[in-house]
Structure 1
């Protein structure tokens, strides 16, 4: 294990991420490590990771099975807590929050898209999209709702329940739900994994457009080089560490890099 720092009493790891000329990244990690278990059975899922994720960009996270990509996303999203180091959403240090504060942060400041859609079957598409507003007790922004629905081409499906929608349409509803609160970051975990190739390409095109046209920030974990090619940047992990970053990715360049790292 390389460079694991366990903080002593009153000591925090330095937040020395390069913030690109003073701009605050949408999310960042500074010397972040995540260890499960202890002693001889300890598993190091993240090992001294320092990374900044720029706002209004599309970042893909890739790596072989067991590389730590899902753990990194979970820590950045406040779904898991690092063992040492720091993780920030904007200027908020996630480790400084209580469990309830992290729950509220995820509800109010983040959006999530999962492979399995996670839609409520008894609600219509419109009701599923607006669910975060309902849970927060907030009146939805009708203009933003209309913009999201239009961008995702769901206007003629709003009254349908999930069982009446195709897989691609269900995932678009899930993206709409993730966007409705205008989150600072949308985290997408293998969002095309349950879709056919055509629906997957359409969904990735929608994610690309919400970055380019709506100014959203998207962070996507994927194993698919073709999906990663839609991103502005790809971050590659291996054995819990960031080993390479690629700007302007193409499918062939990503495939070659994954080949060197060992796909999975």
Structure 2
């Protein structure tokens, strides 16, 4: 469903150049929930942004459904992101003047499309927002706002969900609700879920974890648990300290 092929990203030139990605390759399949982890500055967010067409790689290729994103003009790339990718960020990015229901429908409104009533009802039920649809963001808790953001990401029935630190601003209970929803996206609705996180507990919800360091893919773990992820991060930190 999504593929990174020797993905590289360099910011700046000459002696001021900073290598954010150094040829990262990975494949992401339908119905698979993948977490991407690494220390600050490891390139995990840059990797996700290049793969989802939010940033342009310096080298290599990012493909969605076999389509090389670099081959698309801006209008077509925008359309692909809108129709095939749902985005969830740490900051909820809701429009304060719109109700929860209007925020959820926003991607379809921008595309000039009407919501599918049955699908919308299903995601509202899944996110537990039925009694909050008329509320504006300021009237909602952080967890409720992130659930609105998740419903907004899902309303177009995208093939891929990209989540960048989706639980970073939430308490543990609200975070668990978001992670359960992301896992359901993969397991029940067959969507490809990609999540950047620094939290071993969040990574434990995924089917696998990719570990980045200094812009490179350094390890991969299938069937992660919080304890296994934490131990791997500790070994990584110890190795970094020795360098």
For normalisation by structure 2, the TM-score amounts to: 0.95
Alignment of 1:1-264 (within 5 A): 26-262=1-237
1:107 Cα offset (Å): 1.3
1:23 corresponds to? none
Query: Which secondary structure does the structure 1 equivalent of 2:62 belong to?
Result: strand
Report deviation, 1:219. 0.5
Shift of 1:262: 2.3
Aligned length, in residue pairs: 239
In the alignment, the residues of structure 1 paired with residue 234 and residue 79 of structure 2 have an alpha-carbon distance, to the nearest angstrom, of 40
Q: Greater share of helix residues, 1 or 2?
A: 2
Q: Kindly state the Cα deviation for residue 236 of structure 1 after the two structures are TM-superposed.
A: 0.4
RMSD after superposition: 1.3
Distance in 2 between residues matched to 1:214 and 1:143, nearest whole Å: 14
1:165: Cα distance to partner?
1.0
What secondary structure sits across from 1:262 in the alignment? helix
Superimposed CA distance per residue, residues 94-133 of structure 1 (whole angstroms, 9 cap, x where no aligned partner): 0101122212211121110011100011111111111000
The structure 1 segments of at least 4 consecutive aligned residues displaced by more than 4 Å after TM superposition are: none
CA contact (8 A) 1:235 1:246 kept: yes
Using the size of structure 1 for normalisation, the TM-score is 0.88
